[in-house]
Amino acid sequence: MWESRKPPISFKSQPKWVGSFCYLYNMKRVFLYVWQLPQNVLAIVLIGVYSLILGSPERTEYKGIRYRWFKGWKFGISLGYYVILGDFARDRLDIINHEYGHTRQSVCLGPLYLIVIGLPSCLFKAWDRLFHTPERGWTPEKAYRWYFSLPWERWADKVGGVVRV
């Protein structure tokens, strides 16, 4: 026999502010997602393309950001609510927090993020790879220090809570 019972949790018994808070929290998340739409869309496209080439990534979440870990990939990219990383960085809290710092910059800059952070990041990374070679007297350590002294990288370290010694 079927018997109508009250569900064990009654949502009506919650104080009104809980519902309002959830609503505002969701509105904030939706607003911030749209505010960072160019980088969020780019992230979804890149994750799709990399999934086809490298296979499905492992998915984790850290401080509200979706981390996607690709096997054998050597880079790290932060785009809106997504961080795309190679599995080499799985235990590297400095890299995880540095990329998280870039996601905070994305919240600050919104639609300007790709121009202010993304573009110079790509250009200077390419410069680093091309010209900071041992033949030109660059050790990996010197190149590393040069790269993380760039203003937008220092900013990402600062807001991500990364201290480099």
Sequential DSSP letters for 3-55: -----SS-GGGS-HHHHHHHHHHHHHHHHHHHHTHHHHHHHHHHHHHHHHHH-
Map residues 126-165 to x or -, x wherever contact with Zn ion holds by CB under 5 A.
---------------------------x--x---------
CB of 79 to Zn ion, least distance (A): 12
Q: Which is nearer to Zn ion, 137 or 140 (CB)?
A: 140
Indicate the residue among 38 and 153 with the shorter CB distance to Zn ion.
153
CB count within 10 Å of CB 10 equals 8
> Which residues, 6 or more positions from 162, have their beta carbon under 8 angstroms from its beta carbon?
94, 97, 98, 101, 156
CB of 102 to Zn ion, least distance (A): 6
Q: In angstroms, rounded to a whole number, what is the distance separating the alpha carbons of residues 105 and 165?
A: 23
The minimum distance between CB 165 and Zn ion, in angstroms, equals 17
Residue ranges in 50-69 that form contacts with Zn ion under rule CB under 5 A: none
Q: Which is nearer to Zn ion, 65 or 156 (CB)?
A: 156
Site of interaction with Zn ion (CB under 5 A): 153, 156
